[in-house]
Amino acid sequence: MESGHKGDWFKHLEDEITEFRERDSSKFYRIFAFWDPTQDKQTLIVGTHGLDKKTNKTPRHEIEKAKRSMNKYFEQKKDKI
């Protein structure tokens, strides 16, 4: 991750939200995440939530949920400084 290589298992959705894709023998799983670039040396990847995805299209409300989690994370982090 430090070198910037994200691999095929990451798909950028919009804004700063990324979808981590994983598959087992019969299901597809998605974990929504974003990067926190404010760390000193390494980038922190923050997972917001996941789902068992049944279609190829990512539900709009799941992306919005991830965005709300990201915004809340950075607001709380800002308040601690």
Task: Note the residue count of the chain.
Answer: 81
Residue 24: DSSP 8-state: -
Instruction: Tell me the C-alpha distance between 16 and 32, whole Å.
Output: 10
- H-helix or E-strand containing 74? helix 60-80
Tokens matching residue 65: 């949920």
Q: Full-prediction pTM beyond 0.85?
A: no
Q: CB of 46 within 8 A of CB of 70?
A: yes
Locate 7 and state its tokens: 């691999």
> What's the pLDDT score for residue 48?
93
Spans of all domains in the chain: 10-80
5-9, 13-17, 31-35, range with the lowest pLDDT: 5-9
Amino acid 65: pLDDT:
96
For the stretch 24-81, pLDDT in tens is 777 778 899 998 887 776 678 889 999 987 777 888 999 999 999 999 999 998 887 6
